[in-house]
Amino acid sequence: MKRSRRCKIVATLGPASETEEMIEKLWRAGADLFRINMSHTNPAGMRERVRMIRAVEEKVGRPIGILVDLQGPKLRVGAFAEGGADLIKGQNFVLDTDETHGDSTRVRLPHPEILESLQPGHKMLIDDGRLRLEVIETTPNRAVTTVEVGGRISNRKGVSLPDTEIPDAAMTEKDRIDLVAAVETGVDWIALSFVQRAEDVRAVKAIAGDKAMVLAKIEKPQAIARLEEIMAAADGLMVARGDLGVEVPPEKVPGLQKRITREARRLGRPVIVATQMLESMITSPTPTRAEVSDVATAVFEGADAIMLSAESASGHYPVEAVAMMNRIAENVEIEPVYRSIINAQRSVPEKTGADAVAMAARDMAETLETKAIVAWTASGATALRVARERPRAPILALTPCRDTARRLTLVWGTEAAVTRDAHDVDDMANRACKFAVRQHFADAGDRIVIIAGVPFGTPGATNMVRIAFIAEDGLRAQ
């Protein structure tokens, strides 16, 4: 079941979609990867979801990616004596370490490291920004604030700190337990929440090793300030627009989305655009026109993937939401203006042999109007380099590593198949032609472009590009 679009779809699993039957329906509707949100499950629940996804993968005969999203530090206020309190604009409100239940004048903030980091002038956003406080006085155990935007504050509401750098790493003890379990279970991608610095990403990679790729979620102003170094450390990125839109002014989010998407493409890092893409489909069988336009914008920008959260996890119409996202992407990609926008975003390639070969493969495929670019790759790096060029022709990645095939389900325009590595140039060309026909990329009489590295099986050695003509028997013309 070859996809007819280049942009990939990530579907989050949850109460509405956590059966094997529903996972298969979502995949057939267009989902390429499945996200497991560790904020709502534990290692045992994660393992069961992985088992079901792998069962569906075996049934459909195609690689399916799995993304485990770590919860990250959740900052919350304590409890109130009466369940909550009303804060009035202009009043003072104190956050401290006192375990006594709160009232309209104070509440406990059970995060001493935050109280130690707050400075006068810092903003504090409560309940997804519905209440806004400004710090006016601090001690190690207490922060006095002025209420800038008042309203009802209740038990354990979330706290966002757009101006404050949290000294601790982005991983909590729960995250470490979940990460180890995810790596042992064999998931493909790990998403790290609330990244502030490159060291946060490196801490996850130190545990994951080469068993899973690490994706940095960009959702804090501190990450924006260090975007280049975070991108260099991570294997991929997610524009997590929900929390990002709380901690930075929402009118800045579209520009940041474009900046992150283009920078990720320049570096050859897969990028996901996420959060509230088809939000109304949680309760409605059809999206709003604005939501359709939002999804289309991400596709026009060349994002590697677009993601559904509550729409597929807990909504009433999970299959319909995936199918709608699939149709939007398909229709955007056949628009005449789509190709001109994608081409205009091309970056200057890095001065490496692999980048030169990838760019040459793209040019050859477009000049000759070949049906596919077939990339032999062990680590996936060759396919990533070709995908960075956003060629017109689809990319078929042939790899001896099943893990690589699964990871590439996140990469723009790339389909992967598992096969033994080529043993010589003729074998490389012949099997590339066979797989192009078998996977419905090409037919007899068509031409394909093949790229590979010699000697075969050497990671990072992409140095050869060939043109092959598919003969009637499915082999290349001699």
Q: Give catalytic residues, as residue numbers.
A: 35, 76, 217, 275
Q: Which residue reads 């450390």 in tokens?
A: 233
**Which phi and psi (to 5°) does residue 142 adopt?**
-160, 140
Give the per-residue pLDDT at 454. 78
Q: Which residues, other chains included, contact 389 with Cβ-Cβ below 8 Å and sequence gap of 6+?
A: 346, 349, 358, 359, 361, 362
Exposure string over 29-49, b if 16+ CB within 10 A, otherwise e: bbbbbbbbbbeebebeebbeb
Angle, helices 336-344/289-300, rounded to nearest 10 degrees: 50
Q: Which residue reads 């090409």 in tokens?
A: 442
- Tell me the C-alpha distance between 24 and 434, whole Å: 27
| Tens-digit pLDDT profile for residues 80-133 | 999 999 999 999 999 999 999 999 999 999 988 899 999 999 999 999 899 999
308 pLDDT exceeds 80?
yes
Ranges in the chain annotated CATH 3.40.1380.20: 353-469
Bridge partners for 375 per DSSP: 397, 451
Burial group, residue 382, by CB count within 10 angstroms (0-12, 13-18, 19+): buried
Which amino acid belongs to residue 269? R
63 pLDDT exceeds 80?
yes
Q: Give the Cβ contact number of residue 367 at 10 Å.
A: 9
Which of 72, 71, 21 has the alpha carbon at shortest distance from 46?
71
Q: Prior bond to 455 cis, omega within 30?
A: yes
Which of 96, 166, 163, 167 has the alpha carbon at shortest distance from 132?
163
**CATH of the domain spanning 8-72+169-339:** 3.20.20.60
Q: Give the Cβ contact number of residue 2 at 10 Å.
A: 10
- Report helix, strand or coil for 345: coil
CATH 2.60.40.1660 fits 353-469, yes or no: no
| Tens-digit pLDDT profile for residues 139-174 | 999 999 999 999 999 999 999 999 998 877 678 999
- Tell me the C-alpha distance between 435 and 419, whole Å: 9
The order of strands in the sheet holding 142-149 is: 106-108, 92-96, 142-149, 131-139, 123-126, 159-160
**Which phi and psi (to 5°) does residue 387 adopt?**
-60, -35
Give the per-residue pLDDT at 478. 44
The correct CATH number of 84-160 out of 3.10.150.10, 3.40.47.10, 3.30.70.20, 2.40.33.10 is 2.40.33.10
Ranges in the chain annotated CATH 3.20.20.60: 8-72+169-339
Report angle CA 237, 238, 244 to the nearest 5 degrees.
125
| Tens-digit pLDDT profile for residues 167-213 | 776 789 999 999 999 999 999 999 999 999 999 999 999 999 999 99
Which of 226, 182, 227, 229 has the alpha carbon at shortest distance from 204?
182
With residue 379 as reference, give the H or E element that holds it.
Answer: none
**Which phi and psi (to 5°) does residue 248 adopt?**
-120, 160
Helices (H), 197-345: 198-208, 221-225, 227-233, 241-247, 253-267, 289-300, 310-313, 318-333, 336-344
| Tens-digit pLDDT profile for residues 386-444 | 999 999 999 999 999 999 999 999 999 999 999 998 888 899 999 999 999 999 999 99
Ranges in the chain annotated CATH 2.40.33.10: 84-160
What's the whole-number mean pLDDT along residues 324-335? 98
Give the per-residue pLDDT at 457. 65
- Report helix, strand or coil for 2: coil
Contact yes or no for 272/218 (Cβ under 8 A)? no
Tokens of residue 369, six digits = 């109007």
- Tell me the C-alpha distance between 350 and 85, whole Å: 57
Contact yes or no for 476/430 (Cβ under 8 A)? yes
